[in-house]
């Protein structure tokens, strides 16, 4: 028998060694796979502009009037161009000699900047103090560089005392490009630094924050690789706005999921010496809340596919891809790294093994006291917090989310905005950004008369290849006028039986007055089957689509998330209450933000998409913390009863959820360094809302409400009918957790 025993022992040792090799090999392969993905995705950070576009028209619905007009402009104008308006201003006035010199300088500068097409003649204002010219720029060029080079060359060559501005659609688009320029480097750097500082403060460890940030950064690299490849293939649309949100979402979400995993891992290390067992138990304990939280966010984001605006609908799958990789990295890469480093990852605060027979999570004194506070006055707490949130939500009455002028999209210094102000002082405000009217040739006269009759229209011209400037003015009765009386009128350019009119508006193209003029113009031209496009029409169509999206998508998201929570918590009442508290928190965040935007920052308003995006992020991400809390409460309720489970769940998850909230708020706050009004507003609303949800809703309102209701919170599941089980000999009550 002895030889057999020795043989059996040897076989066990070989099996044990084989098992150790497998345990080592699997984490190594996981880390290697993520390293390969990150090495492929990392270099793409500087190349996102190759597959992205900031052209508003590209994101409109295909059946929008502005989209249909934009699709045929190249047929009439000869090439796909975007106009730049060059404005000259001289306090002493511009005489004929200076006009000639400006024309020469403009043509020289345009050649240097790679401008395509014919430059219009220099037009001096009636007061003689300013002049302007229209420069067509090929949209295939690097617009930011072309506009910058044009302005730089002109400023260096014009006569002394003459100020130069490059404005118009090309100027404002160049401003947007410049505003988004910091996304690849500055935004990512600030977000990572903010998260690193918070993690250092939370864990008081140097290695663990690096491990967590590596998990988030690898997730972002692989997500970017996937999104970039799909955008390159034409499957997805990318913009600077979408890119910035993707970066922030992935970093914030991956870090949040990692914090939950790390918390479970540290909890397990108190009860076992085996790091493999600890990692396995941590995965089993955190997989459900991570998958449920990520799945909820993905479901909310994919509801954006219902949007009419492609800028909204394309954000859904792009951000969903990012969240998917955030979950995957937290459930695979992070456990592999934690297994590799073992207990020393927490150095110098390495978790100690608890005494034999004692199994319970460690809870700080502060969270134990908060749990005790909630248990003493639950009804007072949830009533007071509800009232506070409801009062804050009244600020919604001050929210102005009907759209903002294009000139206000970029914060800070703007050459295009300054130039537009000069245009408004000396020329019709809509110069350089005409309304394009596509109408049948037989209706040319009627359409021209109807447009000229509008008080908001300064002049109308028809595109004609025979006229020197490419378009000929139209007078009353729809007569094409060019040259002295008796001169034959040029023949309009006709494409598929239609002609193109250009209407110069008296008001700035991005103003409310101009939008009203375009709306009235469409009403008058509808009987003629005419289509109206251009910068102003694009803004009108965008705002209308945004309002439709907001009113359609928000209710759908609420229903989808409610169904997910019901499936997760096996309850009807708890999910309904969680949704109501989250919506109340969102209303409070938006209300306070409206007051701050109007009273402190004096913003001109907000895009209609701001409430929609804020809702998606705050409700989907805010419900994450309720999922983290309530899944643990439900787990503890099975062992200790609902009220005891609420207190234990609050204390156990308090630290990790608070840390996660701080991380997410900090990452979204980083968006504010990009000087784009939309992103700055989203940054404030979401950051404030996350903090409100973390420190008020999840900490006081939800626990107090759940404690007050008791086991009925789980109705109609069996847990709502079960009595609290007795405390076992190896367990402790919530007030005894140390």
Q: Quote the tokens at residue 197.
A: 């500082």
pTM of the entire structure?
0.82
Question: How confident is the model at residue 14, as a pLDDT?
Answer: 47
* pLDDT above 70: percentage of residues in the chain: 87
Q: CA separation (Å) from 621 to 61, 228, 290, 361, 363? A: 28, 24, 12, 26, 25
- Tens digit of each residue's pLDDT (9 = 90 or more) over 165-198: 988 888 888 888 777 776 667 778 888 888 888 8
Q: How far is CA 666 from the centre of its chain?
A: 15
Phi-psi region of 89 (alpha: psi -120 to 50; beta: other; left: phi over 0): beta
- Grade residue 526 by pLDDT with cuts at 50, 70 and 90: very high
Q: Which of 67-71, 329-333, 447-451 has the lowest mean pLDDT?
A: 67-71
- Backbone φ/ψ region at 619: left (φ over 0), alpha (ψ -120 to 50), beta: alpha
Contact 147, 168 (CB under 8 A): no
Helix (H) or strand (E) holding 505: strand 498-505
Residue whose entry in the numeric block shows the structure tokens 């309904």: 576
Whether the predicted pLDDT of 722 surpasses 70 = no
In order of 549, 621, 664, the CA distances from 579 in angstroms are: 21, 12, 20
CA 167 distance to own-chain centroid: 27
Comparison of pLDDT for 691 and 413, the residue scoring more: 691
Q: Which residue has the higher pLDDT, 148 or 687?
A: 687
What is the Cα Rg of the chain in Å?
31
Peptide bond connecting 167 to the previous residue in cis, omega within 30 degrees of 0:
no
User: Strand, helix or coil at 676?
Assistant: strand
**CA angle at 534 for the pair 531 and 536, rounded to the nearest 5°:** 105
8 pLDDT higher than 50: no
Report how far residue 125's alpha carbon sits from residue 106's, in angstroms, rounded to the nearest whole number: 17
pLDDT tier for residue 388 given thresholds of 50, 70 and 90: very high
Bridge partners for 436 per DSSP: 502, 533
Alpha-carbon distance of 575 to 557, in angstroms, equals: 14
Q: What is the pLDDT of residue 80?
A: 67
pLDDT at 656: 83
Q: Are 405 and 511 in contact (CB under 8 A)?
A: yes
Residue-wise DSSP of 77-110 = HSS-EEEEEEEEEETT---HHHHHHHHHHHHHHH
Q: How confident is the model at residue 126 (pLDDT cuts 50, 70, 90)?
A: confident
Mean pLDDT of 328-342: 93
Ranges assigned E (strand) in 127-240: 130-138, 162-167
Instruction: Estimate to the nearest angstrom the gap between the alpha carbon of 100 and the chain centroid.
Output: 48
Angle between helices 65-77 and 535-569 (to 10 degrees): 140
Quickly list DSSP for 533-584.
EEHHHHHHHHHHHHHHHHHHHHHHHHHHHHHHHHHHHT-SHHHHHHHHHHHH
Average pLDDT, integer, range 277-299: 88
Least confident range of 7-21, 247-261, 609-623, 658-672: 7-21
Q: Residue 585, SS3? A: helix
Q: Which tokens sit at 596?
A: 């701050």
3-state secondary structure at position 410 = strand
pLDDT tens digit string along 700-709? Answer: 999 999 999 9
CA distances, 675 to each of 177, 448, 671 (Å): 11, 41, 9
Q: 457 φ, ψ to 5°?
A: -110, 130
- Start-to-end Cα distance in the chain: 51
33/7 Cα distance (integer angstroms): 38
For all residues of the chain together, what is the average pLDDT? 83
């Amino acid at each position: 028998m002895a030889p057999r025993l020795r043989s059996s022992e040897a076989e066990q040792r070989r099996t044990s060694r084989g098992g150790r090799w497998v345990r080592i090999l699997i984490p190594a392969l996981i880390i290697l796979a993520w390293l390969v993905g990150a090495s492929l995705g990392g270099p793409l950070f500087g190349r996102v502009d190759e597959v992205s576009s900031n052209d508003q028209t590209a994101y409109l619905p295909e059946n929008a009037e502005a989209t249909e007009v934009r699709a045929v402009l190249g047929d009439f104008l000869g090439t796909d161009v975007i106009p730049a308006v060059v404005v000259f201003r001289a306090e002493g006035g511009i005489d004929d000699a200076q006009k000639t010199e400006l024309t020469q300088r403009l043509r020289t500068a345009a050649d240097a900047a790679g401008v395509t097409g014919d430059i219009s003649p220099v037009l001096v204002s009636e007061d003689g103090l300013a002049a302007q010219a229209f420069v067509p720029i090929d949209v295939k060029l690097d617009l930011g560089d072309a506009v910058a080079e044009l302005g730089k060359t002109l400023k260096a060559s014009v006569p002394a005392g003459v100020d130069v501005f490059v404005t118009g659609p090309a100027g404002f688009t160049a401003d947007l490009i410049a505003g988004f320029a910091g996304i690849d480097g500055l935004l990512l750097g600030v977000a990572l630094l903010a998260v690193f500082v918070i993690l250092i403060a939370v864990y008081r460890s140097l290695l663990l924050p690096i491990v967590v940030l590596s998990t988030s950064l690898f997730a972002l690299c692989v997500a970017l690789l996937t999104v970039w490849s799909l955008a390159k293939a034409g499957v997805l649309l990318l913009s600077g706005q979408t890119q910035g949100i993707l970066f922030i979402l992935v970093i914030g979400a991956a870090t949040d999921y990692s914090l939950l995993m790390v918390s479970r891992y540290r909890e397990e290390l108190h009860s076992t010496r085996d790091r493999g067992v600890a990692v396995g138990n941590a995965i089993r304990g955190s997989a459900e809340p991570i998958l449920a939280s990520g799945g909820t966010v993905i479901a909310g984001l994919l509801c954006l596919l219902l949007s009419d605006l492609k800028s909204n609908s394309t954000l859904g799958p792009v951000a969903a891809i990012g969240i998917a990789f955030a979950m995957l990295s937290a459930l695979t890469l992070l456990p592999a790294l934690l297994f590799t480093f073992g207990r020393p990852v927490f150095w110098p605060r390495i978790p100690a093994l608890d005494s034999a027979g004692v199994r319970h999570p460690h809870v700080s004194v502060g969270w134990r006291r908060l749990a005790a506070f909630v248990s003493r006055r639950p009804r007072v707490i949830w009533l007071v917090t509800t009232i506070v949130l409801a009062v804050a939500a009244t600020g919604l009455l001050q929210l102005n989310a009907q759209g903002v002028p294009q000139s206000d999209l970029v914060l800070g210094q703007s050459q295009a905005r300054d130039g537009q102000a000069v245009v408004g002082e000396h020329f019709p405000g809509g110069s350089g950004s005409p309304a394009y009217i596509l109408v049948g040739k037989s209706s040319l006269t009627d359409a021209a008369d109807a447009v000229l009759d509008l008080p908001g229209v300064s002049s109308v011209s028809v595109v004609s290849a025979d006229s020197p400037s490419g378009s000929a003015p139209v007078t009353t009765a729809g007569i094409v006028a060019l040259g002295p009386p008796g001169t034959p009128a040029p023949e309009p350019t006709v494409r598929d039986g239609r002609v193109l009119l250009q209407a110069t508006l008296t008001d700035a193209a991005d103003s409310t007055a101009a939008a009203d003029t375009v709306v009235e113009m469409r009403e008058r031209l509808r009987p003629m089957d005419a289509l109206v496009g251009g910068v102003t029409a694009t803004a009108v169509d965008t705002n209308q689509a945004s309002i439709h999206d907001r009113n359609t998508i928000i209710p759908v998201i609420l229903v989808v998330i409610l169904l997910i929570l019901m499936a997760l918590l096996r309850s009807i009442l708890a999910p309904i209450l969680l949704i109501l508290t989250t919506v109340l928190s969102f209303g409070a965040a938006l209300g306070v933000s409206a007051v701050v935007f109007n009273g402190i920052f004096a913003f001109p308003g907000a895009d209609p998409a701001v409430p929609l995006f804020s809702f998606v992020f705050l409700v989907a991400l805010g419900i994450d913390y309720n999922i983290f809390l309530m899944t643990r409460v439900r787990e503890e309720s099975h062992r200790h009863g609902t009220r005891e489970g609420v207190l234990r769940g609050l204390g156990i998850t308090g630290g990790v959820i608070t840390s996660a909230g701080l991380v997410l708020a900090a990452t979204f706050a980083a968006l504010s360094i990009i000087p784009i009004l939309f992103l700055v507003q989203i940054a404030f609303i979401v950051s404030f809302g996350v903090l409100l949800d973390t420190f008020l809703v999840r900490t006081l309102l939800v626990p107090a409400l759940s404690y007050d209701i008791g086991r009925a919170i789980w109705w109609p599941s069996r847990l709502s009918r079960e009595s609290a089980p007795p405390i076992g000999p190896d367990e402790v009550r919530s007030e005894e957790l140390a």
